[in-house]
Structure 1
Amino acid sequence: MSAKNSGGKRAARERMAEQREHQRAAEKRRRTVLAVLSVLGVLVVAGGIAVLVNNNGDEGSESDGPLVYPKHTAGKDRLAIIDGRSAAPVTLTVYEDFRCPACQAFEKTYSKTIHELVDSGQLKAEYRLVTLIDNNLKGHGSLNAANAAACSAGSDDFRAYHDVLYANQPPESTDDYGDKDKLKELAKKVPGLDTKDFADCVDDGRYNPWVVKSDKAFMTSGHDSTPTVLLDGKSIFGQGLDLTPEKLKQQVAAAAKG
């Protein structure tokens, strides 16, 4: 074989080897691009799911609408719904959750006495609505019921509807108050409350942002359970505190004198 032929074959082999190397490199780049696109596709889908969850799973987010204050609200940031005369000498503060069984037990024992003290001008009650059970067990019953209660304040029916919600409270695990139709149905138990404005207020979650703001304030208040009951800022109900309706009357009288 001549040197010329030998050199030509060697050059051909080198070109083929070089071509194969280019092909391997191109294939490697193709696999890399496909892998990157696959990961990006997963991230895009996951991001879409996250957006859907954020948009649909948090009914109480502050982005649901403008911050609107219910009627008869007062206190810091107007987060308390007031029952009673503003000039009453003593203030009872109740942090409560309409899904909370302990709150229902408190209401059954003390609501009659509280109403008597409020109506006589000795006491004003301020109710601060929270969503502790929703936060712990999930669901929207605490939020929806709190919004509905705030809606009832618009027609001066907060006390009556508040008591109806506790008298008909479902088991906390069922989240029945997550059903807005249930909350509207209960309005029929309060004369004059079953109106289109009330139904619209419940349906559109008019006060959801206010409820969320109230709940956030509770979370930073230093209190961690419901009901939390304070008389002029001092805790009077709970473990180690032997409160009775009669003792509540006595404490209110003593606070008024002091």
Structure 2
Amino acid sequence: MATAGRRTNWFAIWVSVAVVAVVVVVGVAVVLINNAASDPGPAPEAAIVNTETGAISVGEGPDVVATYIDFMCPVCRQFEEVYAETLNDLVADASITLEYHPVAILDRASQGTQFSTRSANALYCVAVTSPEAVTPFVSAMYANQPAETTPGLTDEEIIAIATDAGAGDVAACITERRYDAFVTAQTTTIPEDAQGRAGTPTVTVNGERIDLTGDPQADIVDRVS
């Protein structure tokens, strides 16, 4: 069984989460109104992708840890820094199946380039083309995370990160934005907290939404068998 990773100052982090959560409630409502009758577009067909839930699964453990992430979200990067080592260890020792749910709640923060949607689409492209590159790609995207209110990474920069992470030919999938509509549809499925707010990062363990404390041992390890 894996052991816990590092701690950090989560007071300031979760103040930011509260702001993101309020914004996404409004954003999700708009998406639902505008897209309720629209086609979600092609689904990413791959053995590791659940086309109904949008989950990209890594590992084959009996317990399921699901993470809802936005690559523009600075709190998601902090989550990655604190929890990734523990999660990856649990995957490696077959304790858990780790699910990535790439969503897009911060397109408004990338000067019209829709970086959140483009980067989420890119993760699906990697999952379809090169499943083994999913976790390295996620880590590399956070290592190269752009600041909010900037245009974000270009498609060419995202393609280069995917290639360096071990992905095959994902260029056309990324530039065509093949799964954008699928990402939009999945963004409406983020589990809400007790106050009815949805934000990123959101984590569930075996379907139960958890309140993150910054302690991987208590939040994740102690909840899995």
Considering only CA atoms, is the larger Rg found in Structure 1 or Structure 2?
1
Q: Any stretches of 5+ residues in structure 1 without a counterpart? A: 1-57
Q: Which position in structure 2 is the counterpart of 1:237?
A: 211
Matches within 5 A, 1:69-148: 69-71=44-46, 72-74=48-50, 77-85=52-60, 88-135=61-108, 139=112, 140-148=114-122
Q: Which position in structure 2 is the counterpart of 1:189?
A: 164
Q: Which has the higher contact order (CA 8 A, sep 6+)?
A: 2
How high is the TM-score relative to the length of structure 2? Answer: 0.72
Mapped contact 2:121–2:183 kept (Cα < 8 A):
yes
Residue type matched to 2:215 in 1?
T
Residues 10-55 of structure 1, C-alpha deviations (whole Å, 9 max, x = no match):
xxxxxxxxxxxxxxxxxxxxxxxxxxxxxxxxxxxxxxxxxxxxxx
Q: Any stretches of 5+ residues in structure 2 without a counterpart? A: 1-33
Looking at structure 1, the residues matched to 62 and 204 of structure 2 have their Cα atoms a distance apart, in angstroms, of 14
- 1:216 deviates by 2.3
Looking at structure 2, the residues matched to 184 and 66 of structure 1 have their Cα atoms a distance apart, in angstroms, of 22
Residue type matched to 2:82 in 1?
T
Aligned CA distance change for structure 1 residues 130 and 66 (closer, same or farther; 3 Å): closer
Q: Which position in structure 1 is the counterpart of 2:136?
A: 160
- 1:128 deviates by 1.3
Q: What percent identity do the matched residue pairs reach?
A: 27
Mapped contact 1:141–1:175 kept (Cα < 8 A):
yes
- 1:248 deviates by 4.0
Q: Which position in structure 2 is the counterpart of 1:228?
A: 202
1:174 aligned to 2:150? Answer: yes
Structure with the larger helix share: 1
Q: Which position in structure 2 is the counterpart of 1:150?
A: 124
Give the CA RMSD over aligned residues: 2.5
- 1:220 deviates by 7.8
1:204 aligned to 2:180? Answer: no
Looking at structure 1, the residues matched to 130 and 65 of structure 2 have their Cα atoms a distance apart, in angstroms, of 23
Mapped contact 1:90–1:232 kept (Cα < 8 A):
yes
